[in-house]
Structure formats: structure tokens, C-alpha cells
């Protein structure tokens, strides 16, 4: 069994090379009995499971072939695609995970999440997150026309980009006390969101940050059932 963890792909029709990189990854791991975990921001924006487009149809078709080969796809939402739901995942037998999921692999207790909840110093973002992730609001938005949701998503991305221009890297990074709190009951924490791929050691435990996908490479994590395996990030070229 191969456990593969990726995050922050930010797929969109504007960046076909990223899409191709993801499809190539599916093909490379299709025959490896893989459990694929996508830890949020799979797509640069998600306006609803009723959205369709040729570039997305190609992704779904490859995912169908991936799961038909005996592999599994698990997804937990990020700040860009929190509206992605079961209707989309059901097309290829994907499974929607809660915001935080605990796994046990090779005797290690592992916590996976997108990572934005750990950025507690970014008070304005946490306030916005609480509002936009309200289930009532998400349900209301899903009933709005696709064109309205597309304009809304574009507005959110613009405001987010503008806000980041005035924030320090320290504010937008994880809070160390928040990390210590979640590591207390697990051996390993895996997350994305910050786009700072690295493996951090903390009090004998590890925090692994998955990298965002660049134009030709990404930092991904592969874990096996072998307890002696040294855990390292891998560079995926496409």
C-alpha cells in the first residue's frame, strides 16, 4: 500500500501544465495500490459541484480510471475549494474527509488537515474563514446561479491577493503554539496551505508541510507501511 499526500495544486483552465502534472501523477501511481490524500486547494477556486467544463471532464475521467484500478481518493477542503462536495467526488468514488482526519500508518498516529486553521496569528483571515465556512451561507451560495458564484469567487481571490500584500510571512504562517497543541496527541502532522514545503522537528515529532505546485515541479509525500521508512518529501517533475 502506498499513501500519497498532496496539497495546493490550485488547478484551473488558466494553467494547463498543472493539470497535466496532476494527470501524470495519477497515471504514475495507478498501479501502486495507492491511497491518494488531497489536503485542500486542489482547485484554484470551486464555484459548485454543478460546474462543468472540458478541462474538468478530463480530470474526472482520469480519476475514474485511477479508482477503477483499485486505488482510493480522499479529499479534505482548503480555503479555495471549501464548497467542493460529495456530488463531484461521487463521480469517481472519491471520499470527502472532515477538516481534520487522524490516520494510523506503520504504527504512527498521523493528523492531516489543510493547515489554515493553524495560522491563528492571521486574525482577519480567521474571522473571514469563520463567516464564509458557515454551513448556512455555503448552502445559500450553492443555490445561486453559477455566473454569480463565479463573480463572487473572483472577488474573493482579488481581495485575498490584496490583503496578502500587507501581511508579513510570519503572520500568514502557522502559530507554533497551535502546532504544539495538535502534535500533543499524534506522532506526525501533515498539512499544506502555507506553500513552504519542509519537514520540521518539534519535541521528537514531525510537522510536514506539503508544497504548492509550481509550473514544473511539486513537493509531495509518499509513505508506505514500512515502519523503518525514512519520511522525506519528494520532488514530482512534470
Give the mean pLDDT of 123-144.
Answer: 88
What's the alpha-carbon Rg for the chain, to the nearest Å?
17
> Which residue, 140, 116, 135, 114, is CA-closest to 126?
116
Pairwise pLDDT comparison (55 vs 135), residue with the higher score: 55
Kindly write down the DSSP assignment for every residue of 178-228, as one continuous string: HHHHHHTT-SEEEE-SS---EEEEETTEEEEEPPPP-SSEEEEEEEES-TT
Average pLDDT, the chain: 92
Statement: residue 139 has pLDDT above 80 = yes
Statement: residue 51 has pLDDT above 70 = yes
Sheet holding 100-105, edge to edge: 100-105, 108-113, 188-191, 205-209, 198-202
Secondary structure E strands in 83-138? 95-96, 100-105, 108-113
pLDDT at 159: 67
pLDDT at 229: 82
pLDDT at 188: 97
Q: Are 72 and 109 in contact (CB under 8 A)?
A: no
Number of C-beta neighbours around residue 19 at 10 A: 20
Domain residue extents for the chain: 2-237
- How many Cα atoms occupy the beta-carbon half-sphere of 136 within 13 Å? 2
pLDDT at 162: 61
pTM: 0.93
pLDDT at 138: 83
| Digit-coded pLDDT (tens) for 92-131 | 999 999 999 999 999 999 999 999 999 999 999 999 899 8
| Digit-coded pLDDT (tens) for 145-199 | 888 888 887 777 766 666 666 567 677 799 999 999 999 999 999 999 999 999 9
pLDDT at 149: 86
- Domain 2-237, what architecture? 4-Layer Sandwich (3.60)
Amino acid at each position: 500500500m502506498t499513501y500519497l499526500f498532496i496539497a495546493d495544486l490550485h488547478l484551473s483552465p488558466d494553467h494547463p501544465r498543472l493539470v497535466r502534472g496532476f494527470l501524470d501523477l495519477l497515471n504514475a501511481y495507478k498501479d501502486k495500490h495507492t491511497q491518494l490524500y488531497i489536503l485542500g486547494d486542489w482547485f484554484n477556486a470551486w464555484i459548485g459541484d454543478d460546474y462543468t467544463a472540458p478541462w474538468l471532464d478530463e480530470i474526472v475521467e482520469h480519476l475514474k480510471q485511477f479508482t477503477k484500478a483499485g486505488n482510493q481518493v480522499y479529499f479534505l477542503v482548503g480555503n479555495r475549494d471549501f464548497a467542493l462536495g460529495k456530488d463531484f467526488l461521487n463521480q469517481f468514488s472519491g471520499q470527502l474527509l472532515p477538516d481534520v482526519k487522524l490516520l494510523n500508518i506503520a504504527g504512527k498516529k498521523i493528523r492531516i488537515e489543510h493547515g489554515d486553521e493553524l495560522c491563528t496569528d492571521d486574525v482577519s483571515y480567521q474571522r473571514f474563514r469563520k463567516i464564509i465556512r458557515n454551513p448556512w451561507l455555503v448552502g445559500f451560495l450553492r443555490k445561486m446561479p453559477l455566473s454569480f458564484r463565479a463573480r463572487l469567487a473572483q472577488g474573493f481571490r482579488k481581495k485575498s491577493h490584496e490583503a496578502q500584500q500587507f501581511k508579513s510571512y510570519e503572520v500568514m504562517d502557522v502559530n507554533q503554539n497551535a502546532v504544539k497543541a495538535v502534535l500533543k496527541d499524534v506522532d506526525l502532522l501533515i498539512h499544506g496551505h502555507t506553500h513552504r514545503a519542509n519537514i520540521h522537528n518539534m519535541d521528537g515529532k514531525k510537522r510536514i508541510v506539503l508544497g504548492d505546485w509550481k509550473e514544473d515541479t511539486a513537493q509531495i509525500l509518499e509513505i508506505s507501511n514500512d515502519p523503518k521508512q525514512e519520511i522525506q518529501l519528494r520532488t514530482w517533475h512534470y
